[in-house]
Chain A
Amino acid sequence: MTDTTLPTALADIRDDFLALEQRERLEMLLEFSNELPELPERYQEHPDLFERVVECQSPVFIFVEVDDERVVHLFATAPKEAPTTRGFASILVQGIAGLTVDEVLGIPDDFPNTLGLTAAVSPLRIRGMTALLGRTKRQVRERIAA
C-alpha cells in the first residue's frame, strides 16, 4: 500500500478554495477552467490514446504519461461548453504536475470532496472529479505495470 498524503500543490489549491466565500470559489474554479492547457501537438492528432471519463456529465478525456524519472504527466481535454468539468481537470493537471508515481498514487481518493466545492457545485457534480482522479490513478498503475 502507498501512504496517502496530499502533495503540497494540491493542498495549496485546497487551502485557496477554502479561504474563499462560496461564490468566489466558483470564480476560482472558472479560472482553473480557463487555464486548462491545450494538448501538446504530439497528442492533438491522437484521440485514440485518450480515455473518456464517463462519470462526468460532459465529455472529458484524459491520458497519463509516466516518464523515465517516474514523473507523471496528466493530459486532459474537454470542450469549452463544459467549464465545470474543465475546471476539475485543470485542478488535477496543475496539482499533479511534476509529481512522481508514488506521490500521485498517494493522493487521497476523497480529495475532491475536501475542496469546499460541494455546496457551490453540488455533491453530484463533484463525483465527476472523483472519477477523474480514480481513472488517473488507474492509468498510472497501468503505465508502471507495462
Chain B
Amino acid sequence: MPVAPDPFEKFAGYAHPERLVSGDWLEARLGEPGLVIVESDEDVLLYETGHIPGSVKIDWHTDLNDPVLRDYIDGAAFAALVGGKGISRDDTVVIYGDKNNWWAAYALWVFTLFGHEDVRLLDGGRDKWIAEGRPITTDRPAPDAVDYPVVERHDDEIRAFKDDVLAHLGHPLIDVRSPEEYSGERTTAPAYPEEGALRAGHIPSAANVPWARAAAEDGTFKPVAELDEIYRSEAGLGLDGSEPVIAYCRIGERSSHTWFVLTHLLGFENVRNYDGSWTEWGSAVRVPITTGSEPGAVPAK
C-alpha cells in the first residue's frame, strides 16, 4: 500500500510535492511495509560499495534496456524485474542515485511508462544521503519475489519518437545538453564517451537549458521560484503549463531529469521525453538541424 507523502515545507511549493521525499523522512521509514527503495546509478558498481539499507538496485543499461531491440524492456520483462525485487504494483517506490539523481530520474520515467503510480525521488540523491552521515550498508537484501502484473508499456503520453518531434516543430522544444553539444562543437557531453552521432548541433528552435541547472549546489532540486524563472521565463516554455513540450538530450537520460522537473515540480501537463534524442536525430537522414548557439527558425513543413 502507498505510504503518505513527505510534508517537508520546501516541497509544498511544487506542483506535485508528493513526488519528492527528504532524507529525514526516508531514514525514519526504512523497512516500512509498502515502501521500496531503489538505487539507480550511472556507475554500475556503486550500489555494491554501499547503499541505503534495504534498497534494491536497478541499472539503466543492464536492467531497463532491451538487450537486442533499441527500446525499453516490455511489460513481461518489467514485471519480472520489479516483481523479483519485491516491488508490488501499489507499493511506494523511492528512487535515488548518483549525479543529482540523473539516472534515478531516468528509472522513474521508465516506471511511469509502465504506469507505476507512486514513484518518488529522494531529493539530493545518493551524495546528499552520504554527506549527511545517514546509514549505508553493503548487505544485499533478499526480498521475496512478488507477483507484479504484466502491464503494457504506454509510450504515448510521456515518450516522443522522431516523427512526433517532426510533427511537434513550432511548439516548445528543450535541449538539455551542454552548450558545446547544443552549438555543435561536439556530439558528446564533455568528458563522456562518443556515442556516434554523425552531425553536431540541435533540433531547430529548441531552447538550451542544461539539465543540471535544475539542481542546487547540494544536488537537491532548486525551489520552485528559481525553476519558474529558468524554464517558464528564460526558456519560454509558457506560463500556464498547457503547451506541449518535448525534452531531449543525447540518449534520453538527462532529459528524463528535466521531464521530472517540468512535469512533477512545475506542473506542465503535456511533457514528452524524446529518448532517441541526439544519437538518433543527429544521424537521421533528412531531418533539419541547426548549428551555433541560437535556437534557429522553425523549418517549413
State the A residues within 8 Å of B (CB): 26-27, 29-30, 33, 52, 54-59, 80-85, 87, 119-122, 124-125, 127-128, 131
Q: List 8 A-B contacts (CB under 8 A).
A: A33-B49, A57-B193, A59-B191, A83-B49, A85-B43, A120-B44, A121-B44, A127-B193
The reply to whether B42 and A122 form a contact with Cβ atoms under 8 Å apart is no
| Contact indicator per residue, chain B 186-197, by CB within 8 Å of chain A (1) or not (0) | 000001111100
The reply to whether A124 and B193 form a contact with Cβ atoms under 8 Å apart is yes
Chain B residues near A84 (CB-CB < 8 A):
43-46
Q: Which residues 132-190 of B sit at the A interface, judged by CB distance below 8 A?
A: none
Query: With the chains together, A122 CA to B192 CA distance in Å?
Result: 15
Is B18 in the interface zone, CB < 8 Å from A? no
Chain A residues near B45 (CB-CB < 8 A):
26, 29-30, 33, 83-84, 87
Interface size on B, residues (CB 8 A): 17
Given contacts A124-B193, A127-B193, contact A82 B43 (CB under 8 A): yes
- Give A104 Cβ to nearest chain B Cβ, in Å: 23
Given contacts A27-B48, A80-B49, A83-B46, contact A55 B62 (CB under 8 A): no
Given contacts A81-B46, A84-B44, A122-B44, contact A55 B194 (CB under 8 A): yes
The reply to whether B191 and A52 form a contact with Cβ atoms under 8 Å apart is yes
Is B29 in the interface zone, CB < 8 Å from A? no
Is B98 in the interface zone, CB < 8 Å from A? yes
Residue of B nearest to A52 (CB): B191
The reply to whether A131 and B46 form a contact with Cβ atoms under 8 Å apart is no
Is B16 in the interface zone, CB < 8 Å from A? no
Which of B44, B67, B195 is the one whose CB lies under 8 Å from A26? B44
The reply to whether B62 and A119 form a contact with Cβ atoms under 8 Å apart is yes
The reply to whether A57 and B42 form a contact with Cβ atoms under 8 Å apart is yes
